[in-house]
Amino acid sequence: MIQRHGNRELWVNQAPIPLSTEEMDYVFGLTYARVPHPKYGKAKIPAYDMIKTSVNIMRGCFGGCSFCSITEHEGRIIQNRSKESILNELEEIRDKVPGFTGTISDLGGPTANMYRLGCSDPKAEANCRRPSCVFPGICNKLNTDHKHTIDLYREARKVDGIKKVMIASGVRYDLAIESPEYVRELVTHHVGGYLKIAPEHTEKGPLDLMMKPGMGTYDRFKEMFEQYSREAGKKQYLIPYFISAHPGTEDEDMLNLALWLKKNEFECDQVQNFYPSPMCNATSMYYSETNPLKRVKYKKREDVPVAKGERQRRLHKALLRYHDPANWPLIREALTQMGKKHLIGDKPSCLVPAEDKEAQTPAQRRRSGRHGANRFATKHTKNQPGFSGFKEKNQGDKPAHGKPKNKGKSGHNPHKGRTGKPKHRQASH
Ligand code: SF4
C-alpha cells in the first residue's frame, strides 16, 4: 500500500512470507553477541535489561485484535523455532549474558501460547479471509493443542544453570482454557506471583470491536488460575489490563468498567488510553467512525461511536482511574450529566465521593473502605517478577498525591502496601 502525505509517500509492505522452522532456526542461530553495541559504552539501556534474558520462540499472531498491528507486521501464520534451537539459546544466555542470575524473563512472542498452533487445514487456510482464528469464537479448524508449549516449558526448566523460567508475554486466555494442562503448567511453574492478562474491557460493545472474547472467558480462566495456584500452594494474583477510549466505547461502557474495577477492588496506577496507530483496524474505526469488520457499502454502513476531543478522552481515562482524586471533579460532572448522581457519595455502591470528601487524606479514604487493595500498573516496572530493583515510571499517570507509590527502598517490600496487602504491578502488553 502506498499512501501520499503532502509531497511524500509512505510505502507499507505486507507481512513477510512466513519462514519455515529451519529458516527461523537459522536466523535465531546466528552468532549474536547478546550485549549492546560497543558504541553505547557503559550507558544503561533499559530496553536491553528487558530483553537480555528473554527468548522469542515464535513470530506471528492469529488473534487479530483491532488495536494491534502485529498480524500486519509478522503475519497471521505462526512461525515457530524448533525446541532444540530455543534450548540452545537458553544455554547461550547462561554462558554469554553478563551477570545472568539463572532467571529467564520470558519464553514467548507476540502471544505466550500460540507456539506451534495453527490451522489444521492448509486448503482452508490458503483461502481463509477471517481476520482472526479465535474471534468471535475459536474456529473449529484451529489446532489448539498446547502439548508442544508444555513440553518446551518442561525441557527449558531442565537446562543446566536455569533456575526459573518466567512467562511474561501475554497469555491468550481464551485459547489457554482449551488446555487445562497448559494452565496448570503455567500457573504451577512460570508465574512469579503476578500474571498479566488483557481482557481490555468488560463491555460487549467495545469488546466486539476489539475482537476480544467476553468476560465469561476471563472468569473461567480466573477460576482455573486460582484453582491451580491453590493446588501448587502459591499465593498468586491475576492482573487484568484495560484500554480506555477504544472506538466503540461509550461513556456508559467506561462507567460500567469503572464499577467493575471498584467491585473487584482494582486500582490502575497507569492506564492505556487508545491512540490511533498505523495499520490497526481500530485506527480506521477511529477516523471513519465506521465498523470495518462489517460490510461497508456506499449508503449502508454501521456507525461506531468514537471518543474524540480532549474532554471525552480525558473522561474515559479518568473513569479507568476512578480512585484518583484529581479525576473526581470530571467524573462527578459526567455522572450528573448522565443522570447517575446516585453514584456520587459515600455508599459502597458509589464510584466517587461527594465534593466535601475531597478534603480527606488518602489514608482516611482507605479507611472509609472506598479504595481497593489491588493496585496495578500498565507499564513495565522494574519490580515485575523476574527483575530486580524498582523505579517508578510514567510521570503522566502518577498517583494524585504526586509521590510514587512504591519506592522499593530498604526495609520496604515494593510488592506490599502499607497495610501489608499485596500491590499488583505488572508489565503491559
Ligand atoms: S480456517 Fe479457521 S483456523 Fe484456518 S485460517 Fe481460517 S480462521 Fe484460522
Q: What's the gap between Cα 172 and its chain centre? A: 10
What distance in Å separates the CA atoms of residue 324 and residue 334, rounded to the nearest whole number?
Answer: 15
Please give the number of the atom of ligand 1 that sits closest to the Cα of 125.
Answer: 5
Q: Please indicate whether residue 130, judged by its CB atom, sits closer than 6 Å to ligand 1.
A: yes
Instruction: Indicate the burial class of 396 (C-beta count within 10 angstroms; 0-12, 13-18, 19 or more).
Output: exposed
Residues 317, 225, 407: CA angle, nearest 5 degrees: 50
Ligand 1 atom nearest residue 141's Cα: 3
- Whether residue 114 has its Cβ less than 6 Å from ligand 1: no
113 close to 176: Cβ distance less than 8 angstroms: yes
Q: What is the pLDDT of residue 159?
A: 97
Our answer on whether the CB atom of 138 is closer than 6 Å to any ligand 1 atom is: no
Tell how far the Cα of 210 is from the centroid of ligand 1, in angstroms.
Answer: 19
| CA torsion angle 133 136 141 146 (round to 10) | 70
The DSSP secondary-structure symbol of 303 reads: B
- Phi and psi dihedrals of 365, rounded to 5? -65, -40
Q: Which atom of ligand 1 is nearest to the CA of 130?
A: 7
CB neighbour list of residue 69: distance below 8 Å, 6 or more residues apart:
277, 278, 279, 280
By three-state DSSP, how is residue 287 classified? helix
Q: Return the biggest CA–CA distance within the chain.
A: 67
Cell digits of residue 288: 471513519
Which one of 114, 119, 140, 145 would you pick to mutate in the ligand 1 pocket, going by the greatest count of ligand atoms within 8 A of its CB?
A: 119
How buried is residue 313: exposed, middle or buried, by Cβ count under 10 Å (0-12/13-18/19+)? middle
How far, in Å, are 114, 167, 209 from residue 110 at the CA level? 9, 12, 20
Task: Please give the number of the atom of ligand 1 that sits closest to the Cα of 143.
Answer: 3
Looking at residue 358, its pLDDT comes to 55
Per-residue pLDDT of the chain (429 residues; tens, 9 = 90+): 888 889 999 888 888 899 999 999 999 999 999 999 999 998 999 999 889 999 999 999 999 999 999 988 899 999 999 999 999 999 999 999 999 999 999 999 999 999 999 999 999 999 999 999 999 999 999 999 999 999 999 999 999 999 999 998 899 999 999 999 999 999 999 998 889 899 999 999 999 999 999 999 999 999 999 999 999 999 999 999 999 999 999 999 999 999 999 999 888 877 899 999 888 999 999 999 999 999 988 888 999 999 999 999 999 999 999 999 999 999 999 999 999 999 999 888 999 999 875 555 555 555 444 455 566 654 333 333 333 333 333 333 333 333 333 333 333 333 333 333 333 433 333
Single-letter residue type at 183: V
| CA 379, chain centre distance (Å) | 9
Backbone phi, then psi, for 240, in 5-degree steps?
Answer: -85, 145
What stretch of H or E contains 56?
strand 54-56
Pocket residue to mutate for ligand 1, from 78, 117, 135, 142, most atoms within 8 A of Cβ: 142
What is the model's pTM? Answer: 0.81
The rounded Å distance from CA 148 to ligand 1 centre is 20
Rounded to the nearest whole angstrom, what is the distance from the C-alpha of residue 142 to the centroid of ligand 1? 6
Q: Which atom of ligand 1 is nearest to the CA of 118?
A: 3
Taking alpha carbons only, the member of 67, 175, 52 closest to residue 112 is: 175
Question: How many angstroms does the Cα of residue 117 sit away from the middle of ligand 1?
Answer: 11
Torsional sign, CA 205, 225, 47, 44: positive
Radius of gyration of the chain (CA): 23
CA of 138 to the centre of ligand 1 (A): 9
Residue 86 has which C-alpha cell?
A: 530455543
CA of 141 to the centre of ligand 1 (A): 6
Report d(CA 168, CA 54) in Å as an integer.
9
The kind and range of the H/E element at 80 are: strand 79-80
Question: Which residue's alpha carbon is nearest to atom 5 within ligand 1?
Answer: 125
